[in-house]
Amino acid sequence: MKVDPRQIYNLLLKSSQTDASVREIIIGLTWTFCQADGIGLCMSPGHPTRTLPWSGTLVKTAIANLAPWIKSWDSYQATVGMAAINSVINPKSPLLPESQPLLPKGSANLAVFEHFLPLIRGKRVVVIGRYPGLSDYEKEIDLMVLERQPSTQDLPDTACEYLLPEADWVFLTATSIVNKTFPRLVELSQNAKLVLMGPTLPWLPELADMGINYLAGVAVTHPEALRQTIAEGGGTRIFDTGVQYRILTLST
């Protein structure tokens, strides 16, 4: 029986219960980093701000007090909440040892697309989010990219209502959980093979019950290098220094 994808937020809170406290949070240009007992990541909001009222107060805060921020409509609160949740779930997830590490021949940040290329040739493919370098694959496959801030190469995210129900494959950024578009995008993708992907991904088996076919998240390989890269403004660079993409099939 399928679970309403709107339950993702309750699932995240239930799965991240802990007595741990924050040791460090870094809100980098591209990634937000939370260190508690483990490390959790989330893509940072795409807009700068100078008015975060809680800056300088989060270290030693209980994860249990930050995790509920995932339900916030404030993008910075939701980002910190997701990173805090991932710092609990992902280091201990039994799914990570089961997952397949990707060793791409091309760009490490595009490893997921390289992996699935043999399966998606000749299929209608929709990608939620413009990944740097993705244009290389647009020459080989029937691929449409939906973006909240579209370039001339992209379609606006409102096109999801029309394109996702007709897609064969959908690659959905896990950042959709944070910006609250996840439930609707999952509903619209039920006719497609659905890949949830990115460093923001929580490694949870229950995502299969919501219609996710594949998880394509990351494992932290070099914690100190990851921290430094994020602190120094790293974006796709983290895939070369601190994390590795891994794939797990939840259902076919």
Q: What is the pLDDT of residue 81?
A: 98
pLDDT at 252: 80
Residue 76 belongs to some domain of the structure:
yes
The answer on 242 and 120 residing in a single domain is yes
Looking at residue 236, its pLDDT comes to 96
Q: Is the pLDDT of residue 235 over 70?
A: yes
pLDDT tens track for 57-84: 999 999 999 999 999 999 999 999 999 9
127 and 89 in a common domain: no
Both 86 and 116 in one domain: the answer is no
Q: Are residues 198 and 216 in the same domain?
A: yes
Q: Domain range holding 73?
A: 5-95
Query: Mean of the pLDDT values across residues 164-169?
Result: 97
Give the rounded percent of residues in the chain with a pLDDT score beyond 90. 90
Final residue before a domain boundary, out of 39, 62, 95 = 95
Distance, in Å, from the CA atom of 185 to the CA atom of 188, rounded to the nearest integer, reads 5
Q: How far apart are CA 92 and CA 69, in angstroms?
A: 21
Domain containing 85 — which CATH number? 3.30.390.100
30: in domain: yes
Beta-ladder partners of 24: 35
